[in-house]
Amino acid sequence: MPCKITLIGAGSVVFAKTLIGDILQFPELSDAHICLMDISPARLKVADIMMKKIVAKLGVKARVESTSDQRKAIKGAKYVICTVQVGGYQPSTRRDFDIPKKYGLEQTIADTLGVGGVFRGLRTIPVINSIAQDIADHAHPDCLFLNYSNPMAMNCWAVDEGVGIPHVGLCHSVFGTAMMLASHAGLPYEDVSYLVAGVNHMAFFLKFQYRGQDAYPLLFKVLEDPERNYELVRYEMMRRTGYFVTESSEHQSEYLPYFIHHGKKVIDKFCIPIDEYLRRCEAIISTWQQTEDTLLGKDRDIDVSPQSHEYGSYIIHSRETDTLRTVYGNVPNDGLIDNLTQGCCVEVPCQVDATGLNPLKIGALPEQLAALCMTNVNVQRLTVEAALTKKREHIYHAVMADPHASSTLTLDQIWSMCDELIEAHQKDGYLGEFAPTIKDTGRSYAGVGDRVIAKVKTKGEQLHKAGNKFTVIVEVENPGEKDISVPLLLSSSNPQLKLEKSKLKIAVKRRATAKVQIQAKVLEVIEEPVKLQLDTDDSNVLAIGNKLLPRRLLEKADDGLSHFKLQLAGFDAAVGSLKRTDKHLEVRMRITDSDIKPNEAAPHKGSVVELFFASEDKPVIKQVFAIPGKKSGVQLVYRGHNKIPGASVTAKRSKIDYSFTAKIPLSEIGVAKKGPFLFDVLCTLSALGDAHSGGRCSLGNNFGSFLKTEHYHQVNP
């Protein structure tokens, strides 16, 4: 019984003519049932007339039918060939070139990798997978899906992961490059053999042989030719990696970070044709009428060329006749290449006969080649993830990982460019909806941006005083578009802290914040930290409690000093001591800042020590800045740069730290000659010693709360 062979995207008439012409020239396939499908009625009509003329010209018994119904075209088919281009030259390809160009990103072909490849993949994968699903549901049980549509690796990976039917991606780059290299080396193609492996358009000739001998020396001779003005990028990459790659120099130049983004000088040196795909498309469009006349044989019989080297017809013939052949196909990496991601789409030799398509195990690629392939695989993986999960964040991640885009654009530019491309393609109707992200981030809005946040804050707490009352504030922020009511349970880890209310239900308007105030009372002096726990049964509420710290006493040591230490990210950042005399408070500190960068205009934004003092009974806070000089010394001032009357300071520094001793009149900082006072200190460092970045650290860990004295340390030196 004749097998049914369906061509989807038959409007690609030039390629369709080659594929179907190849198939019908095999006597065993000459009675095939050829079904043509395309969404363009005009193009489909041309394809239908053309195919029937080919059948007549060849004198074969094949039957040709045409339909715009995809499911009807696939029903009962044993082979489905796909050549679709979603969105066409206008508007989609123009979008993929014009919008990135606004951001300074130049491209050559933009159909496989890079931002153009990513968005072509996002448009194509849903269509490819709808074809694959129809094959799974309606085609012949032994149907093989042959895909010619780019981006090849992304499309095939998505078919394997999203549907899981037997499929192979076919490309002319392997045999085309092999013929080209034979010509460059001056060898008869029939005497050349080769082994190629990698990913589509980034596969490498692991072996290039003439009658069993290594012929790479001839290619390196070509490399040395000073008159050579062809394939400059590919030969340059062979020079650097030791192996020749399968796809053209114009493709390679945008898959790698070494060429286009370095500017006109490098572009000219390697003869890189910017916007090359646009030129080709415009040439094809301008000559379409002439091409149509030629294809239809308007003034004469149609010409049918001899069988081409395209793999499609040979795969079908081998399966139908049990003729063993080796072809190169893009297939899932099921242990075929050890040092590429399992499950990704790889291009390897495949033996095909009546048992089907059988990929050959390669083992490990040379490590430098695997590393280059993985820069492509990373982008492919993220694009497939975006297309299958509809998570918008992975669109940004894919472009962010692309070697050319990441070496040309800032992260802000990548995000803006992707936003503009998404909006444009969606407006054109060629890109579906994606789950939103938090603005200007790579994180999904769902589960993060829409999460309700409930926090416990306090005001006026003093745990060291029995009978003290203070306010606990429960604040709920609702980022969503609906009014909500949040159930919460507030509890204390210490029974000596009595809460006026524990069960809460807080109503919050859309995109608003609500607060509830609760009175708390200290029954007895509390000397250990207290946890205020906030709980909820609502899974979309992030409930954050608080930790109340009683005042800690900085006691006098045997040396007569009260010592303290500050840590940053778990490492010692500063040490110091306090000593009170009749008239002065002496502050000694050593700060491990190895890259001192003071900011005299805004001291808190540069390297600085901020000292805070207050009387226990009259907590008026006095703030003193100790600002290291750019080269030496330390300046002691109030906020506003006013000098402190009667204060003195000495300082020294090394390449790893600086230290100072400050003597400050007690009267200037509100500290009595005897009795306890309150103290806190904050340090800002540019670099923590010799191995860590800087930051801010505080004795009381109460950043942003220095206008309150509740958690200051109590000093009685």
Residues with a catalytic annotation lie at: 172
SS3 content of the chain, % helix, strand, coil (to 5): 35, 30, 35
Tokens of 626: 């100790």
User: Long-range contacts: 130-134, Cβ < 8 Å, 24+?
Assistant: 130/70, 131/8, 131/70, 131/74, 131/80, 131/82, 132/159, 132/162, 132/163, 132/165, 132/167, 133/163, 134/70, 134/71, 134/74
State the Cα angle at 326 between 16 and 178, rounded to 5°: 75
- The helix or strand, by DSSP H or E, that contains position 376, with its residue range, turns out to be helix 367-389
Residues 103/412, Cβ–Cβ less than 8 Å: no
Q: How far is CA 635 from CA 398, 594, 694, 706, in A?
A: 50, 18, 21, 21
The radius of gyration of the chain's CA atoms, rounded to the nearest angstrom, is 36
Residues 197/337, Cβ–Cβ less than 8 Å: yes
Beta carbons within 10 angstroms of residue 58's beta carbon: 15
Among 244, 267, 243, which Cα is nearest to 254's? Answer: 267
Beta carbons within 10 angstroms of residue 676's beta carbon: 18
477 Rama sector, left if φ>0, alpha if ψ -120 to 50, beta otherwise:
beta
Q: Distance (Å, rounded) from C-alpha 279 to C-alpha 273?
A: 10
Q: Residue 644, SS3? A: coil
Q: Distance (Å, rounded) from C-alpha 418 to C-alpha 99?
A: 9
Beta carbons within 10 angstroms of residue 500's beta carbon: 13
Q: Distance (Å, rounded) from C-alpha 689 to C-alpha 470?
A: 41
Q: Distance (Å, rounded) from C-alpha 346 to C-alpha 363?
A: 12
214's CB contacts (< 8 A; 6+ apart) are 207, 208
Residues 585/614, Cβ–Cβ less than 8 Å: no
Tokens of 605: 């934004």
Q: Distance (Å, rounded) from C-alpha 451 to C-alpha 405?
A: 32
Residue type for 317, please? Answer: H
Burial of 457 from C-beta contacts in 10 A (0-12 / 13-18 / 19+): middle
Tokens of 1: 């019984």
Residues 423/508, Cβ–Cβ less than 8 Å: no
Strands (E), 144-288: 144-147, 167-169, 192-199, 202-210, 213-214
Q: Residue 581, SS3? A: coil
State the Cα angle at 645 between 639 and 648, rounded to 5°: 95
Q: Which residue has the tokens 């006095």?
A: 622
Q: Distance (Å, rounded) from C-alpha 120 to C-alpha 87?
A: 9
Q: Residue 403, SS3? A: helix
